[in-house]
Structure 1
Amino acid sequence: MLIHGHEIKGKGIDKETRCLHYHSEIDRIAIKFYCCDTYFPCFSCHEEVGCTHPQVWPKNQFHQKAVLCGACGYELTINEYLSCNSTCPTCKSAFNPGCNIHQHLYFEV
């Protein structure tokens, strides 16, 4: 699905990147996976329709844009995302703070 000019892959995606697995009001980011350079709403979508070799972003690449705000389309660097207090720095839309428990699935910790 094309959202804010970016292809997002996954299951049951809406216009703000919510998916079949995570679809509350504040589930509005997609994460570009390091292994396949493709945006997915969540790790489950990546497992189901992504590449077969998941890899996390290494710390030395945290300056790369890899998180998409589904509300406004702003691409955050990983550093921006990790320090944004679950709020888009551009449009101020809230992100799900619970995503923090899954950081190890996306980023080197």
Structure 2
Amino acid sequence: MSGGVRAVRVFGATVDDQTRCVHYRTEVDVVAMKFACCGRYYPCHLCHAEDADHEAQTWPPEQWSEPAVLCGVCKGEMAIEDYLAATSCPSCGARFNERCAAHRHLYFG
């Protein structure tokens, strides 16, 4: 793909090609998180719990510059710190679900 975007596999119970899953599938549920424990992208913590054979680990703050968030609309990856400061994708403008902040502790330590 052009523009630095590469094909990324998203694991778990996805329901479309924009990373929505059986647990979270509203219009704004368009991000997948790369889990620190396995390096795999999942649409949500529940998908990881159901699919992975290990406990989830969070990203420590000193690694928040790592690209670990995937926009399901444009397939662009962003650093954790950029995602945490955004309400929409910096590449394509797709709006993110602001209620995901309630689950921040499950992904980012």
TM-score by length of 1: 0.92
In 2, Cα distance between equivalents of 1:60 and 1:13: 33
Name the structure 2 match of 1:32: 34
- Deviation (angstroms), 1:54: 1.1
Name the structure 2 match of 1:8: 10
Superposed, which structure 2 residues align to 1:85-104 within 5 Å? 86-104=87-105
Deviation beyond 6 Å, 4+ runs, structure 1: none
Q: Counterpart of 1:37 in 2: which secondary structure?
A: coil
- Deviation (angstroms), 1:51: 3.5
In 2, Cα distance between equivalents of 1:80 and 1:48: 28
Superposed, which structure 2 residues align to 1:31-70 within 5 Å? 31-70=33-72
Q: CA RMSD in A?
A: 1.0
Aligned residues: 104
From the two aligned structures, give the one with the greater strand fraction. 1
In 2, Cα distance between equivalents of 1:61 and 1:42: 20
- Percent identity, please: 43
In 2, Cα distance between equivalents of 1:92 and 1:50: 31
- Deviation (angstroms), 1:48: 0.1
In 2, Cα distance between equivalents of 1:67 and 1:51: 21
- Deviation (angstroms), 1:13: 3.1
| Runs of 5+ consecutive residues of structure 1 not aligned to the other structure | none
Bigger mean CA deviation after superposition, 55-64 or 6-15: 6-15
- Residue 65 of structure 1 aligns with an amino acid whose one-letter code is P
